[in-house]
Structure 1
Amino acid sequence: MPRDREPLSVGRVIGDVLDPSTRSISLRVDYNSREVNNGCELKPSHVVNQHRVDIGGEDLRTFYTLVMVDLLNILDVYMLVTDIPATTGANFRQEVVCYESPRPTAGIHRFVFVLFRQLGRETVYALGKCQNFNTRDFAELYNLGSPVAAVYFNCQRESGSGGRRP
């Protein structure tokens, strides 16, 4: 499939948040047993409770960092967890920024989960500030390299229709 037709490119995740990269590990995000697929739509009522995350891999000595950002308000971090061992769920981790439930008031927001491989355990620390967060700068600061996986969903206010009204 040509790069410009990949869901992350079409959704402008590649370019706005991430540089082009190759997915090298599985990442599954579920809200109430509903899997997040690139571009799916979830209402705020679907994402009130924290999601479940499962990460692939083969070696429990390999650790990952997972960041959740809003593309419309790209400077906002909605969750940041570190020290997630491969082959586990994200509940085996260090929570740096607690999950904040998306509550868009206007427009369609794209919420992106970005997974990075860490250099080792306890190599990513608490952020001094979450304002003006930049995914690329964050990855560079902690020598995370390119993302190993990413997935996003669209979300708008509960009464939003996402299209034209009759």
Structure 2
Amino acid sequence: MAASVDPLVVGRVIGDVVDMFVPTVNMSVYFGSKHVTNGCDIKPSMAINPPKITVSGQPGELYTLVMTDPDAPSPSEPSMREWVHWIVADIPAGTSPVRGKEILAYVGPRPPVGIHRYILVLFQQKGPMGLVEQPSSRAHFNTRFFSAQLDLGLPVSTVYFNSQKEPANRRR
């Protein structure tokens, strides 16, 4: 499975957002008909609505999904790292689209400048979440700290895409 981690190292997802891990669950992410693969480009206009996500796994297993932008507001000066775009907990294995408890409502990519990475990180839960506090701010979120707070451990799957501001005349 090491081959599936390599793009995460090259894209600095491992390091900037998560620590090295071994993927143990398959997560498929789609914006419309576009399948998200590590490092692919997704236009902000394609990602206005939350993606459709399928999580493999065994019946009874629950997962938490976090989507962040470690490049906010600019890849050269990520002073707001990480900007959290979405948090969903209690996602049952094998579901599509994601059916869980939305902790933080989805906000699509809005990169003001440069090419931003948008990272979807999946954690396996030890049991149902119960009450989870919303982050006080979307800026300065820390996926590692969030995982530690909720005792989630290392990710079980991660995928990321790139996005950049679209010219006004090219938006759909």
Please give the TM-score of this superposition, normalised by the length of structure 2: 0.85
Q: Which of 119, 131, 136 is equivalent to 2:144? A: 136
Worse-superposed segment, 31-40 or 43-52: 43-52
In the TM superposition, residue 149 of structure 1 has moved relative to its aligned partner by: 0.2
Contact 1:82 1:124 in 2 (8 A): no
Q: Which of 92, 96, 113 is equivalent to 1:89? A: 96
2:67 maps to 68
In the TM superposition, 1:16-165 aligns within 5 A as 16-59=16-59, 61-73=60-72, 74-123=81-130, 125-130=132-137, 131-159=139-167
Please give the root-mean-square deviation of Cα atoms over the aligned residues, in Å: 1.9
Worse-superposed segment, 17-26 or 49-58: 49-58
Which stretches in structure 2 are left out of the alignment for 5+ residues? 73-80
Secondary structure, aligned partner of 1:45: helix
| CA distance 1:53–1:43, change in 2 (3 Å) | same
In the TM superposition, structure 1's runs of 4+ consecutive aligned residues that sit over 2 Å from their partners are none
**2-structure distance, mates of 1:123, 1:90:** 21
**1-structure distance, mates of 2:68, 2:155:** 14
In the TM superposition, residue 90 of structure 1 has moved relative to its aligned partner by: 4.6
**2-structure distance, mates of 1:24, 1:9:** 17
Letter of the structure 1 residue corresponding to residue 46 of structure 2: H
Contact 1:118 1:124 in 2 (8 A): no
Contact 2:27 2:157 in 1 (8 A): yes
Secondary structure, aligned partner of 1:87: coil
1:9 maps to 9
The aligned length equals 158
Deviations 1:43-87 (A, max 9, x none): 11111122101000122x110000000020232110000000111
In the TM superposition, residue 105 of structure 1 has moved relative to its aligned partner by: 1.8
1:164 maps to none
**2-structure distance, mates of 1:2, 1:53:** 22
Which stretches in structure 1 are left out of the alignment for 5+ residues? 161-166
2:76 maps to none
**1-structure distance, mates of 2:110, 2:65:** 20
In the TM superposition, residue 159 of structure 1 has moved relative to its aligned partner by: 3.0
**1-structure distance, mates of 2:95, 2:154:** 21
Contact 1:67 1:114 in 2 (8 A): yes
Contact 2:135 2:141 in 1 (8 A): no
Secondary structure, aligned partner of 2:118: strand
**2-structure distance, mates of 1:68, 1:104:** 14
